[in-house]
Structure 1
Amino acid sequence: MRPDGRAGFAGPPRPVGELQVLTDVTWHDATGRRHAEQAIFDAQLAMIRAARRLIVADLFLFNPWRGAATGVFQARCQALTEALVAQRRRHPELRVVLITDPINTAYGAEWPDHFRQLQAAGVTLVITPLKYLADSNPAWSGLWRGALRHFGLDGRGRLPHPFGEGEVGFGTYFRLLHFKANHRKTLISDEGDRWLGLISSANPHDASCWHHNLALRFDGPAVADLMATENQVLALAGEAPIDVPALPAEPVSIGILAPALQVAVLTEAGIRDRVLAELQKLRSGDRVMLAMFYLAHRPIVRALIAAHRRGAEVRILLDANHDAFGHRKDGLPNRQVAWELDRAGIAVRWFKTQGEQAHGKWLLIRRADGGGCLVSGSANFTRRNLDGFNLETDLVVTGPAAHSVFQSVGTLFERQWRNEDGIEFSLAYGVFAERRLLKYLRYRFMEFSGWSTF
């Protein structure tokens, strides 16, 4: 944590023995029937069931709330709760620590049943104290600290619950308007003689179960770096740090071998700096594939345009920002950024979603010299996510572009970009194009000021 309250960590490149790409993909056929290919949640459950010594999870949305969304959802919150409880009962010596965001308590208005179940099973539950993070929305946070927090606004009230059922007080809404969060989605566990880490864009949240997402599971010394970043959050909460026992000098090679690859753990501003550095190196013959839920960060938008002008091939798949748990959204910020990118000549397409969200956040670069780079994790490319206001975690992977890890992510992008297999994964830019100056200026104000949810 930096002295100004803004977070950021850039771990060194580490060798990795196994690196697995996990994806969740959803589409609808011509009859409207939903189809899904999902691997992330099953991998998380497998890690939990294999653990004997330690599980540390840092999860942003971990609740059964569905908002205004309708339809069939998977009960992921309860399934993960039951897996953790069962593993603790099978192995009483297993230490389990769950770090999460206060959004799951409606910012102090309730203590949910699944939290009680976890605590009764001996799980250490840590609610991230967001007051120590820098102010994403300084105008509101200043008013809160100067006046509103003194009015005793905690507890239940008669306002509608912003995320689920029931009622909450003014305090829930007032705290929500700080627009800051522990947005991480990480998991650390042991498996036999090795440690595993998982960094994801997916939440174990019922109404998020059909979202598009990507996760990376890895072993080796980078797991200790991941634990170091979680110890920073534990320190904010006044909890003792957790030691990951010494790992072998070289990672254990099991499953998909990755001897030519290196990985590094990044958080917050460390993600921003690495992404900008990679984009600034791009030249003619290099290729960029970007799939993003929110794209708004001004230096990154400029860097993408500059890379395109230097001759790099840049293609971007974006969520159209029109659905959020049953509520209709107005397209901010992606449609406004896409207008800017399209005017610059960059190819943009939209994920075709029907209620679910294209929630992945990854960047793949294939260089003409044969090098490859993948950055993926929890961080949207926005000021709030990358400039140290939220807590975020990504993994950067480097190595030969021909490696199967880069090939698999590239194949996923091409499948969705080109609508392969007769499936309409994506739509042309014109379908959701918006070319309104006032709305573009609104996006720029929201991104600059922090008065936004992105």
Structure 2
Amino acid sequence: MTLKLLISLALLALAGIGLYHTHKSLPPGISYRGPIAPLIDPVLLSDITQHHADGSETRHHEIFDEVFRLVGQAERFVLLDMFLFNSTKPEGVAHRPLAEQLTDTLLARKKARPDLKIIVISDPLNTMYGGTASPWFEALRKAGITVVETSLTPLRDSNPAWSAIWRACCQWLGNNPRGGWLDNALGNHPVTLRSYLALPNFKANHRKLLVVDDGPELRAVVTSANPHDGSSRHSNLGLSFAGPAVMDVLKSERAVLAMSGADTSIIDARIDHHGKKKPANGNPGDLVAVLTESAIRDAALTMIQSAGTGDRLDLAVFYLSHRKVVEALLAAKARGAELRVLLDANNEAFGHDKSGIPNRQVAMELHKAGVPVRWCYTRGEQCHSKLLTLTPEKGNTRILLGSANFTRRNLDDLNLETNVWISVAEASPVAQKAARFFDLQWQLGPDNDPVMSLPYEAWADESRLRYWRYRIMEASGLSTF
């Protein structure tokens, strides 16, 4: 009887821990919704890998070229927040050494401008949660650059079935980058058991952005691209922009530093200095808002729910599984909106085969409702952009892009994410380039060269068993998406 009572009390305690940490208050400044502001000097940046009929490959990649250019001219301030910042990659395919190139660019600029204030924020996955050391982070710190590995513990738990146990038994153990003895699934250096105990919490600082002084003003880049060698062939999008909205990027990043127990004074000084300046004039009617976490979800739903007859919605995303978003897309189709949905087939990641969950299951729902669905044609890389475009019959084009996949983990205040919402004229360079980006990837193979997409039937999976597996994984958090 005593044993049964103790087991019951333990299970009750774990249930209480899980319930609390999935509903607790968010840290201050998380789930940030910046005000709608003038969009100043926007530039849309794209990365596209094209596959040709003869088996060759062409890469048109702009995002990190622009990041390196901006860092290379900085005089006073650089803030970088990037999810994956490491050199892991599958064998047998040439990848761009982005982690090394970014590190070298930061080090060179710090050497040339010793007074330059540089802050690098990243996710603890890059050190397997403290179980190994990052040579890139160590080199940056040695040069006097501030490197902050985000503290994820204050965030809500996305996988309470495991996180409740981890919080009760394991979070107090710390870690040791020199005590590893297990093979590292994400690198070459052995890691501790404690690294693998932290991994199933399945939450992250998934943001990808840069803020840098650009002449007398500040400029931001918000993107879906990582400085990660294995990700260097992915398709991605980013927006570079100036103006008052850059202050909102800084304010949202200040919250991450504060949550992680890091010094915020450098960002405070930038906000205080630039926040008092009168914004430059942009094109009348061009607007932007910086959004993080669930504010991204709300913006996406507003865009989709506003679409009707005569309006077009284009969605290109790596993961699509969020039930409210899926239901909103189906409702928009029923209202007469024109939809095109371009998805990654979720068939492989960094040399490892995947099950196709969740995209193939969601694609089945959309396809049966008459929504055109195509798959990006990939050969080892990922269709990694997160782009939603609303082109209404009348009025400005609205675009949502950034780091967030359309999943529960990315949109429901679990991961850290940053996106931008913009409203621009359909004839503007940004809207035109976004349309070309989508249209090119929508180009159907195999008769075209390059081959960019495949029809729904190429990766269709209409198994009801796997469909309900996706639904359970999405609802419970027992998944990596």
TM-score of the superposed pair, with normalisation by structure 1: 0.96
Q: Distance in 2 between matches of 1:353 and 1:136?
A: 29
Instruction: Name which of structure 1's ranges 227-236 and 3-12 shifts more when overlaid on structure 2.
Output: 3-12
Q: Which residue of 2 aligns with 1:194?
A: 217
Could you tell me which amino acid in structure 1 is paired with residue 250 of structure 2? M
Q: Tell me the amino acid that sits aligned with residue 311 of structure 1.
A: G
For 2:24 and 2:442, the matched residues in 1 are separated by: 42
How far is 1:437 from its partner?
0.3
- Residue 114 of structure 1: CA displacement? 1.3
TM-score w.r.t. the length of structure 2 is: 0.90
Q: 1:273 aligns with which of 293, 298, 303?
A: 298
Aligned-partner Cα distance in 2 for 1:157–1:119: 22
1:243-322 → structure 2 map (5 Å cutoff): 243=268, 244=270, 245-246=273-274, 248-251=277-280, 258-322=283-347
Q: Which amino acid aligns with 2:36?
A: P
* 1:73-112 alignment, distance < 5 Å: 73-112=95-134
User: Pick from 351, 357, 363: which aligns with 1:338?
Assistant: 363
Correspondent of 1:220 among 237, 240, 243: 243
Q: Which of 457, 470, 474 is 1:430 aligned to? A: 457
Which position in structure 2 is the counterpart of 1:370? Answer: 395
Q: Does 1:444 align with 2:471?
A: yes
Partner of 2:159: 137
The answer to whether structure 1 residue 323 and structure 2 residue 348 are counterparts is yes
Paired residues of 2:217 and 2:274 also in contact (CA < 8 A): no
- Residues of 2 paired with 1:351 and 1:110: CA distance? 35
Q: Return 227-236 or 151-160, whichever deviates more.
A: 151-160
Aligned counterparts of 2:135 and 2:172: Cα–Cα separation in 1: 29
How far residue 239 of structure 1 moved from its aligned partner, in angstroms, is 2.1
**Partner of 1:20 in structure 2?**
43
The 1:153/1:260 distance shift into structure 2, 3 A limit, reads closer
Q: Please tell me whether the aligned partners of residues 58 and 100 of structure 1 are also in contact (alpha carbons under 8 angstroms).
A: yes
Give percent identity, aligned residues only.
Answer: 43
Instruction: Label 1:129 to 1:152 Cα distance change in 2 as closer, same or farther (>3 A).
Output: closer
Q: Distance in 1 between matches of 2:194 and 2:172?
A: 11
**Is 1:168 aligned with 2:199?**
no
Question: Which residue in the other structure is 2:16 paired with?
Answer: none
| Amino acid in structure 2 at the alignment position of 1:435 | E
Instruction: Look up the match of 1:118.
Output: 140
Provide closer, same or farther for how the CA distance between residues 151 and 24 of structure 1 changes in structure 2, counting only shifts above 3 A.
Answer: closer
Match 1:416 to one of 441, 449, 465: 441
Aligned counterpart, 1:405:
430
**Residues 1:158 and 2:181 are matched in the alignment:** yes
Q: Which has the larger radius of gyration?
A: 2
What displacement does 1:279 show? Answer: 1.1
Q: Aligned partners of 1:4, 1:17: CA distance in 2, in Å? A: 34
Paired residues of 1:367 and 1:401 also in contact (CA < 8 A) = no
Q: CA deviation at 1:16?
A: 2.2
Secondary structure, aligned partner of 2:289 = strand
Find the aligned partners of 1:306 and 1:340 in 2 and give their Cα distance: 12
**1:150 positional shift:** 5.4
* Structure 1 range deviating more: 109-118 or 386-395: 109-118
Note the alpha carbon deviations across 1:240-288, whole angstroms, 9 max, x for none: 32132225423266xxxx4431111000000001111111111100000
Match of 2:256 among 233, 239, 242: 233
Superposition deviation, residue 144 in structure 1: 0.8
* Aligned counterparts of 2:138 and 2:305: Cα–Cα separation in 1: 48
1:95 partner letter: K
Quote the offset at 1:399 in angstroms: 2.7
4+ runs deviating over 6 angstroms:
none
Contact kept? 1:182, 1:391, Cα under 8 Å: yes
2:274 is paired with a residue whose SS is coil
Which residue of the partner structure matches residue 25 of structure 2?
4
CA contact (8 A) 1:8 1:267 kept: yes
In the other structure, the counterpart of 1:31 is 54
Distance between the aligned counterparts of 1:449 and 1:133, measured in 2? 17
Distance 1:434 1:168 in 2: 37
Post-superposition offset of 1:153: 6.5
1:373 & 1:212 partners in 2: Cα distance?
21
Equivalent position SS for 2:316:
strand
Secondary structure of residue in 2 paired with 1:422 = coil
Is residue 213–residue 219 contact of structure 2 (8 Å, CA) maintained in 1?
yes
**Structure 1 residues 172 and 70: alpha-carbon distance in aligned structure 2, compared to 1, 3 A threshold:** farther
Q: By how many angstroms is 1:414 displaced?
A: 1.2
Partner SS for 2:40:
coil
Q: Per-residue displacement from partner, 1:385-416 (whole Å, max 9, x unpaired)? A: 00010000000001322322111111221122
| Unaligned 5+ runs, structure 2 | 1-22
Q: Offset of 1:131 from its aligned partner?
A: 0.3
Structure-2 separation of matches of 1:70 and 1:164: 16
C-alpha displacement at 1:5, in angstroms?
Answer: 2.4
Who is 2:10 aligned against? none
Question: How many Å separate the matches in 2 of 1:158 and 1:96?
Answer: 34
Asked if the contact 2:131–2:176 (Cα under 8 Å) also holds between the matched residues in 1, the reply is yes
Check conservation: 2:46, 2:235, Cα contact below 8 A.
yes
Shift of 1:431: 0.2
Amino acid corresponding to residue 121 of structure 1 in structure 2: A
Instruction: State the alpha-carbon separation in 2 of the partners of residues 163 and 26 from structure 1.
Output: 24
Q: Deviations over 1:401-435 (max 9, x none)?
A: 23221111112211221349731100000000000
How many angstroms does 1:448 deviate by?
Answer: 0.2
Task: Calculate the aligned-residue CA RMSD, in Å.
Answer: 1.6
User: Which sits farther off after the overlay, 113-122 or 292-301?
Assistant: 113-122
Task: State the partner residue of 2:405.
Answer: 380
Offset at 1:323? 1.3
Deviates more, 1:403-412 or 1:432-441: 403-412
Residue 72 (1) aligns with residue 94 (2): yes
8 Å CA contact retained: 2:131, 2:175: no
Report the counterpart of residue 480 of structure 2 in structure 1. 453
274-283 vs 382-391, which moves further: 274-283
The verdict on how the C-alpha distance between 1:228 and 1:19 changes in structure 2, with shifts beyond 3 A counting, is same
Q: AA paired with 1:355?
A: G
In the TM superposition, what whole-angstrom CA distance separates every residue of 1:200-220 from its partner, at most 9, and x where no partner exists? Answer: 000000111000000000000
Amino acid at match of 1:347: P
159-168 or 79-88, larger mean C-alpha shift: 159-168
Q: CA deviation at 1:113?
A: 1.4
CA distance in 2, matches of 1:264, 1:152: 38
Q: Choose 213-222 or 102-111, whichever is displaced more.
A: 102-111
Counterpart amino acid of residue 228 in structure 2: H
